[in-house]
Chain A
Amino acid sequence: MNTKPDPFIDGLVVQLAPVTPMKASAGLGGAAASLAVAIVMVVALMGLRRDISALFLLSSGLFLLLGAAASLSVIMMGRPSVGSEHGGWVWAAAMAALLPATTLLMGVTHGPAAWTESDPETGVLCLAMGLLFGLVTGGVLVAWLRRGAPTSPERAGLLTGIAAGSFGIFAFSLHCPSNDLYHIGLWHSLAVVVAAMIGRLAVPRLIRW
């Protein structure tokens, strides 16, 4: 190979320091750890809910899967490669969207009482707590993206928000005692939507390179 001296390249070579390759397993480990931290914080600070219902299992499972799918996409986006699609999260999002869609449909037929049943006062708390506990995952994923080279900062920001909101509300749902479709479908879903908007607006400027 040609080794003709080049001052520009020589300048970069002098600055070389060993780096740890960004393995997907390390990123997934970080995302899983962030979820574990959020869960421990919820359980330690607020306590576990007392019962398990079908709606709780279904809705929590949807948020967990959506958070995992979005996290995986974010992790892969930090390691760019032509030919990568990063589209798997769309199916998880479509499945999770069934929850608010069902709530909306049932709410229309149920009338104004649906709003009251959603328990807006507690709902706002769930929304805020979902966002708060989602910060753990959001911080981990932003740190990953800052170290990596995301070629679509806007989409990476959106997905970071979705992952953070999903894991945050999943963690908080372990405490939230509600088994009401209107409450979970509206307020818990709203935590993901708001987090996605925040991620889309705030994260790109943090990760652009």
Chain B
Amino acid sequence: MKADEASLARLAALAQRGNRAAYAAFLGECQRWLKRYFVRRVGAEFLDDLVQETLLSVHAKLASYDPARPVLPWLAAIARYRWVDQLRRIYKARESAFEDEVADDAEEPEIAARISLDRLFAYLPSGQVQAIELVKIEGLSVAEAAAASGQSESLVKVNIHRGLKKLATLIEKA
């Protein structure tokens, strides 16, 4: 069963008061949600690490959630921050297989659309998106990405640098 916004928010509020059973359930639901959230935007070999890093951030920053506000946009902001951070750190990645599973958030489609990672990419020029996808997510080398995209190697590097910089400014805004 997939947790909805209301029950996830209730669990988060209970966790803030020190309820460990609620916290275990909350983290379990966050873990499943994060896997669906990241699956198309991170190489398969990095997925578990990214989910764990994000859960650690959720744990460390639990106080930053205000129970009066929706919980999924808060979780998504933390997830986006960790995702951009990981993209910055990955310089050479092996080719990764992609899962075709699409995050199924049909229960709350408006929220899902608002907080998706794809929405971040919509604010970037196509050249920057392509360079980031090829090198940072699919794990191609800069030379391979240049050949695949038709961009020069230096342009691929510039597009990655500018794209990641722009992504970092869009985490909450986009």
Contacts and interface: CB of A to CB of B under 8 A. Distances in A.
B31 A80 contact: no
Interface string A100-138: 000000000000000000000000000000000000000
B66 A79 contact: yes
A19 B61 CA distance: 10
Contact of A147 (B18, B63, B68): B63
B114 interface: yes
A150 to B, nearest CB: 9
A175 interface: no
Nearest to B60: A209
The main secondary structure of chain A at its interface with chain B is: loop
B57 interface: yes
A79 to B, nearest CB: 5
A13 B20 contact: yes
Candidate in A9, A15, A20, A78 with the most chain B CB atoms within 10 angstroms: A9
Interface size bucket, A side? Answer: 35 or more
A25 to B, nearest CB: 10
Nearest to B31: A9
B173 A81 contact: no
Interface residues on B, range: 35 or more
A11 to B, nearest CB: 9
Contacts of A19: 16, 62-63
B50 interface: no
* SS of B interface (majority): helix
Interface string B1-43: 1010001000001011110100111011101100000000000
Given A12-B27, A81-B77, A22 B66 contact: yes
Given A8-B55, A16-B18, A209-B61, 5 more contacts: A12-B55, A13-B23, A19-B62, A80-B78, A151-B172
Interface of B: 1, 3, 7, 13, 15-18, 20, 23-25, 27-29, 31-32, 52, 55-57, 59-70, 73-74, 76-78, 80-81, 114-115, 168-169, 171-174
Give the 10 A-B CB pairs with smallest separation, nearest first: A80-B77, A18-B18, A149-B61, A19-B63, A151-B171, A82-B73, A81-B73, A149-B64, A148-B64, A82-B115
27 contacts: A1-B3, A1-B25, A1-B29, A2-B28, A3-B24, A8-B55, A9-B24, A9-B27, A10-B24, A14-B20, A18-B17, A21-B16, A80-B78, A80-B172, A81-B73, A82-B115, A82-B172, A82-B174, A85-B172, A148-B61, A149-B78, A151-B80, A151-B171, A151-B172, A152-B169, A152-B171, A209-B61
